[in-house]
Amino acid sequence: MAVVGLTGGIATGKSTVSTLFKSRQIPVIDADVLAREVVQPGAKGLTQIVACFGSEVLFPDGTLDRKKLGAIIFNNEVKRKKLNSIIHPAVSRAILWNVFLCWLRGEKLCVVDVPLLIEGGLWKWMGKVVVVYCSADIQLQRLMTRDNSSREDASARLNSQLPIAQKVEYADIVLDNSGTVQDLEQQVRLCLMKLERIAGWSWRLSWLFPPFAIVSMLWTLGWRSVKRSRRQSRGPFKGI
């Protein structure tokens, strides 16, 4: 099974691409959804958060008060890292479990939608990485329009993230969302055709013969490391 990592920057159109994949019956594992699930009442993640930050981060009904938790970790690097050390492993485990379920169902490929795919290092575990890109100027304008924010506020949010140009350096496929929705739909269609060709027949072998899937995963990890080193010295990627 081809495991495809999908990422992008704020306001580049990653969510639109994720929706387009879903509309074509491609299973999409959404890390944002999983991040909410791992802190639901009764979940281990929420128990760890309460143990670390206290019961004041909970609403009376026992659910997580994200705003209060955000205020606690705001401008506090130590507490932010502590929170990430709780959330990120829990989300990673949930992603792995959902990928396994896709494999168990005999899916040809699945898409893992992760905003921080590059920053968190999960890109290393993906068979292919797809980055949704648009120019920095377009990204800024879209963010200002979407959130009705000032140029200064929008710029500050963008500057707090890894620049989209740097994310592109990790990509196997770049979807350029600088144009119209119709242009993007065409790119997604071509992207899907390419991914299905890459999956080829080996996905059936991995499903029928699990040791092959393990060998394939180990090969992917080694190949990723070598490919990343080569691409750093070669420059930016081309799109579809």
What type of residue is 182? Q
CA distance 113 to 169: 18
> 114 falls in which pLDDT band (50, 70, 90)?
very high
| Token representation of residue 4 | 């495809």
Question: pLDDT digits over 29-68, tens only?
Answer: 999 999 999 999 999 999 999 999 999 999 999 999 999 9
pLDDT digits (tens, 9 = 90+) for 74-99: 778 899 899 999 999 999 999 999 99
Report the alpha-carbon distance of residue 58 to residue 40 in Å, rounded. Answer: 11
Within 10 A of 229 (CB to CB), how many other CB atoms are there? 10
pLDDT given for residue 104 in this prediction: 85
Write the DSSP assignment of 90-143 as a string of letters. Answer: HHHHHHHHHHHHHHHTT-SEEEEE-TTTTTTTGGGG-SEEEEEE--HHHHHHHH
Residue 205 reports pLDDT greater than 80:
no
**Taking a C-beta distance cutoff of 8 angstroms, is the pair 64, 49 a contact?**
yes
Distance CA 79, CA 75 (A): 9
SS3 5: strand
What is the average pLDDT score of the chain?
A: 87
Q: What is the DSSP letter of 173?
A: E
Give the integer Cα–Cα distance in Å for 62 and 23: 35
Contact 171, 44 (CB under 8 A): no
pLDDT of residue 181: 93
User: How far from 189 is each of 20, 168, 175, 182, 224, CA to CA, in Å?
Assistant: 9, 20, 11, 11, 25
Beta strand ranges found along 20-70 (DSSP E): 28-30
List the structure tokens of 229.
């080193």
As separate numbers, helices (DSSP H) first and strands (DSSP E) second, the chain gives 11, 5
Whether pLDDT at 224 is above 70: no
For residue 238, pLDDT over 50 is answered with no
Q: What is the pLDDT of residue 220?
A: 54
Residue 233 has pLDDT above 60, yes or no: no
pLDDT digits (tens, 9 = 90+) for 125-144: 898 999 999 999 999 999 99
Place of tokens 């119209």: 180
Whether pLDDT at 217 is above 90: no
pLDDT for 37 equals 95
Residue 222: both structure tokens together: 């080694």
**pLDDT, average across residues 109-116:** 95
Confidence (pLDDT) at 12:
96
Query: Which range among 5-9, 71-75, 148-152, 227-231 shows the weakest confidence by mean pLDDT?
Result: 227-231
Percent of the chain whose predicted confidence (pLDDT) is above 90:
69
Q: What was the pLDDT predicted at 112?
A: 97
Q: Is the full-model pTM beyond 0.85?
A: no
231 — pLDDT class (breaks 50, 70, 90) = low
For 129, left (φ over 0), alpha (ψ -120 to 50), or beta? beta
